[in-house]
Amino acid sequence: MAGLIDFLLIAGFFLFLVWRLASAGTILDLLNSLLTILTFLFLTILAPFINSYLICRLGGTIGKLLTGTRIVNPEGKKVSFWRAFLRNYLGYMVSSMLLWLGFIWIAIDKERRGWHDLMADTYVVVVNKAGAVIGMLSLLILLLANIFLGFEIFRSISGNVPFYQSVINDISKEFQQSLNTPQLL
């Protein structure tokens, strides 16, 4: 559930940016939206580091915090940045190999540890039993928000077709002119 919450948060933010792009009515709005999306894509490259920082400082990602769970070391303390990085990125890659068996292993293991936890020597502990309810509500809200944004994107694109056609025509004309204009070296 925590992983789905984290995914829907990122997806929702991205859908919001795409909605802004789809709603652009001027070239300036369009370029600003494209720049914002490029910035977001750059931040997604940094996401492993951001999530590892959240885990080492707060005990978990936003999804883990909402579900009332934390990632700890064998002594029950917060994990280091690099242990969090090992668990969430390298460990998740290993756990997702072979048909996600590393995640399925959680249901088999008596300590409920996935391969990523075994690799990093970490445990996921429940610190707030009400977290499951809060997590489910958060998941539902995020899911509905993502669906709403998807519909808004479709509506915005449908209503903005003439603008996007004019932008594509202008770009095509400029491209054709640049092909026909001799370039000075």
Q: Kindly list the domain boundaries of the chain, sorted by start residue.
A: 2-159
Tell me: the pLDDT tens digits for 119-149? 999 999 999 999 999 999 999 999 999 999 9
According to the model, what pLDDT value does residue 72 have?
A: 97
pLDDT at 185 over 70: no
Please state, rounded to an integer, the average pLDDT across all residues of the chain.
91
Whether the per-residue pLDDT at 181 is higher than 80: the answer is: no
Residue 5 corresponds to which tokens in the numbers above? 């919450």
Q: Are 22 and 29 in contact (CB under 8 A)?
A: no
What average pLDDT does this structure show over 102-131? Answer: 94
Alpha carbons 50 and 10: distance in angstroms, whole number:
12
110: buried, middle or exposed (CB in 10 Å: 19+, 13-18, 0-12)? exposed
Q: Which of 6, 134, 9 is nearest to 71 (CA)?
A: 6
